[in-house]
Amino acid sequence: MLVISGMMNGAIYGLVALGFVLVYKASAVLNFAQGYMLLFGAYLFWFFRVTVGLPLVLAMIAAVAAGFAGGALIERLTLRRLIGQPLISMVTVTIFLSLVLEGLVSMIWGTYPLQHVAAFPESTIRLGKMVLTTQSLIAFGLALLAAGALIVFFRFTRIGLAMRGVAEGHQIMQSMGISVRRILNVSWGLAGVAATVGGILLGSTLGFQLGMSHIGLLAIPAAFIGGLESPEGAILGGLLIGLIESIVSGYVGNAAGVPAAFVVLILTMLVRPYGFFGLERIERV
Amino acid sequence: MLTLSNVEVKYAGVILVLRGVSLQVPEGKIVALLGSNGAGKTTTLKAISGLLRTELGEVTAGSIEFCGGRIDRVDPEQIARQGIIQVMEGRKVLKHLTVEENLRLGGYIRPAAEVRSDMEMVYAYFPRLREKRTAVTGYLSGGEQQMALIGRAMMARPRLMLLDEPSMGLAPLIVAEIYAIIQRLAAEEGATILLVEQNARAALRISDYAYVMENGRVVLDGPSAALAENEDIREFYLGMGKLGERKNFREVKTYKRRKRWL
Ligand SMILES: Nc1ncnc2c1ncn2[C@@H]1O[C@H](COP(=O)(O)OP(=O)(O)OP(=O)(O)O)[C@@H](O)[C@H]1O
Ligand SMILES: [Mg+2]
């Protein structure tokens, strides 16, 4: 039971971590705002579903599109101006960006949890002794599906190929006439998409509340454990973090789950600084 | 086709590296740019391709014209799309991608329908690349990487190719192979090439015209065949004078970067 529920949250962490990895690979920026992008995306969905009253699927599509635009906009307004500046300033920007996003959300929607939205049919399925909600099953499936779609995009499309190229060197790409800015823009847009989908899924199972951003933060250890540069690693890292969190909360107590995930992160860093699926560095010539 | 007039380049606003370089590359010709370490050859190429701007370099005086239009204030991506592709020194392959992915990115700015046939053309020139097309480029030999780089540039169907030291660190046999292909490119495709080299002998053999740079200035230029007979060139660049040989030997030893001199 703990294993199953862990995997379910883990798939969402993995998806959000994937967004983190896409940005890191392309621009070497650690986007600490990823969790708050998730929060913002989730609330956007709530807005489209409840305030505007769109049908479920339309609300999801609208939120995901807005998530893409939001991610791309963040790149455009902040990070693009910082190209060539020290990395630390970019990372600092993402940290304060989190606060801005959180502030925006509380300004617009207040600080209390929002009215619950039943995004997916609520019923339970019994598997032997285990009780699963269809809700979390659907969330799990959608998270994996979205992650799979992003990976296919990254591995097999023209823009995905350009993103992998940008990850290796901006100057080389420019020498071939490829606009690095545009590709970075798309990467941030996709990070926004991953965050938004994650947010929708989390919100509809756990409720729409400001605390979601902390759950989004778990995507960061997931990405690190996966090795920061491997999309598949991010998914596996997410599943692992979900498992650890759920098992530790189950046996030790609820409060221990999240810190345990970070302890695992620190241990992983000590043993394997590049994570488990980090790029093998090719050093020759 | 390409004309540089009195080009001056500064890095970071203060370091003056090019002190008034003028040169011309006529359509369909191979022009060589020779000179020792730090002469400013790479800087000249980057000024043309616009990549200078990604390194805080700037053309502070003079002009660069390509096919009648000024390009010294244009973005590097834009210059590449106008048809100038630089093959950078130091084997800048995308090393975690496969050879074929490298080539596909080279053809990124081309109509998708033509990428396939262009790739066949590249493979026809470099049969070794076809063999290695699914290999991760970072693990290829130096010569194969250089071929992948030239092939990648060919994929963009450039009107002018800027080649920076294609022979660097390669065995003589591979250098000969690559040079033969560059020559074929010029003869069969009518390619226009500006070739930077320390390997003066090979470069003078395949080029039509050559410039020699020192300290950010062009100090000598002329038809390649004539330069190959020039006393100074023979002494300092082809290592044929008595004095020259000793001097070269000493210099070669102190180079930090691995370069071929002869
Ligand atoms: N990005 C940079 N910032 C500051 N100075 C630079 C930069 N790039 C090159 N230089 C300086 O400009 C001078 C010319 O360098 P350049 O790379 O053009 O020489 P080169 O002729 O290509 O030499 P080599 O044969 O060694 O490649 C050198 O003194 C170098 O130190
Ligand atoms: Mg150079």
Give the pLDDT band of residue B240 (cuts 50, 70, 90): low
Does A84 contact B at CB distance below 8 Å?
Answer: yes
Where does the pLDDT of residue B29 fall: very low under 50, low under 70, confident under 90, or very high at 90 and above?
very high
Q: Which ligand is nearest to the CA of B44?
A: 1
Tokens of residue B59, six digits: 């053309």
Q: Ligand 1, atom 24: nearest CA belongs to which residue?
A: B37
CB-CB contact of B46 with B71 (8 Å): no
Q: How confident is the model at residue B201 (pLDDT cuts 50, 70, 90)?
A: confident
Minimum CA–CA partner of A156 in chain B = B101
- ipTM score here? 0.84
Indicate if ligand 1 lies below 6 Å from the C-beta of B167: no
% of residues, chain A, pLDDT over 90: 35
Contact yes or no for A171 and B88 at CB 8 A:
yes
Lowest-pLDDT range of A131-135, B159-163, B202-206, B235-239: B235-239
Determine the Cα–Cα distance for residues B34 and A61; give it in Å rounded to an integer: 59
Distance CA B153, CA B149 (A): 6
Banded pLDDT at B33 (limits 50, 70, 90)? very high
Instruction: List the domains of chain B with CATH numbers.
Output: 2-83+159-229 (3.40.50.300), 94-157 (no CATH)
Q: Which one, of B135, B95, B132, lies nearest residue A281 by Cα?
A: B95
AA identity, residue A40:
F
Among protein residues, the one whose CA lies closest to atom 13 of ligand 1: B38
Degrees (nearest 5) of the Cα angle A217, A219, A225?
Answer: 125
Q: What is the CATH number of domain A2-271?
A: 1.10.3470
How far from A45 is each of A17, A58, A212, B46, CA to CA, in Å? Answer: 20, 10, 14, 48
Helix, strand, or coil here: B223? strand
Nearest CA to ligand 1 atom 22: B42
C-alpha of residue B87 to centroid of ligand 2, in Å = 11
In the numeric block, which tokens belong to residue A265? 């992160």
Ligand 1 atom at minimum distance from B55 CA: 1
Confidence of residue A119 (pLDDT cuts 50, 70, 90): low
Ranges of each domain in chain A: 2-271
The 3-state DSSP class for residue B222 equals strand
pLDDT bucket at A184, cuts 50 / 70 / 90: very high
pTM of the predicted model as reported, rounded to 2 decimal places: 0.85
Contacts 24+ apart (CB under 8 A), B177-184: B177/B143, B178/B143, B178/B146, B178/B147, B178/B150, B179/B205, B179/B206, B181/B125, B181/B126, B181/B147, B181/B150, B182/B30, B182/B150, B182/B206, B183/B30, B184/B125
Query: A residues 104-163 near B, CB within 8 Å?
Result: 158, 161-162
Alpha helices in chain B (DSSP H): 41-49, 76-82, 99-106, 112-125, 127-131, 142-155, 172-189, 200-206, 224-229, 231-236, 242-254
Of A161, A172, A180, the CB nearest to B92: A172
Shortest alpha-carbon distance between residue A224 and chain B (Å):
20
**pLDDT tens string A196-205:** 999 999 888 8
Asked whether the beta carbons of A277 and A21 are under 8 A apart, the reply is no
For ligand 1, say whether the CB of B199 is within 6 Å of any of its atoms.
no
Instruction: Report the pLDDT value the prediction gives residue A263, as an integer from 0 to 100.
Output: 85
> Out of A17-26, B137-146, B183-192, B252-261, which region has the weakest mean confidence (pLDDT)?
B252-261
Number of neighbours of residue B82 by Cβ within 10 angstroms: 18
- Chain A contacts of B78, Cβ < 8 Å? 177
Write out chain B residues lying below 8 Å of A279, CB-based.
96
- Taking an 8 Å cut-off on Cβ atoms, the answer to whether B101 and A164 are in contact is yes
Give pLDDT, residue B148: 95
Please list, residue by residue across A37-53, b when 16 or more beta carbons sit within 10 angstroms of its beta carbon and e when fewer do.
Answer: bbbbbbbbbbbbbeeee
- Name which residue leads in pLDDT, A212 or B84: B84
**Chain B contact present for A164, CB below 8 A:** yes
Query: Does the pLDDT at position B241 exceed 70?
Result: no
* Better-scored residue on pLDDT, B42 or A83: B42
Q: Out of B144-148, B186-190, B228-232, which region has the weakest mean confidence (pLDDT)?
A: B228-232
Q: Which chain B residues are Cβ-neighbours of A179 within 8 angstroms?
A: 77
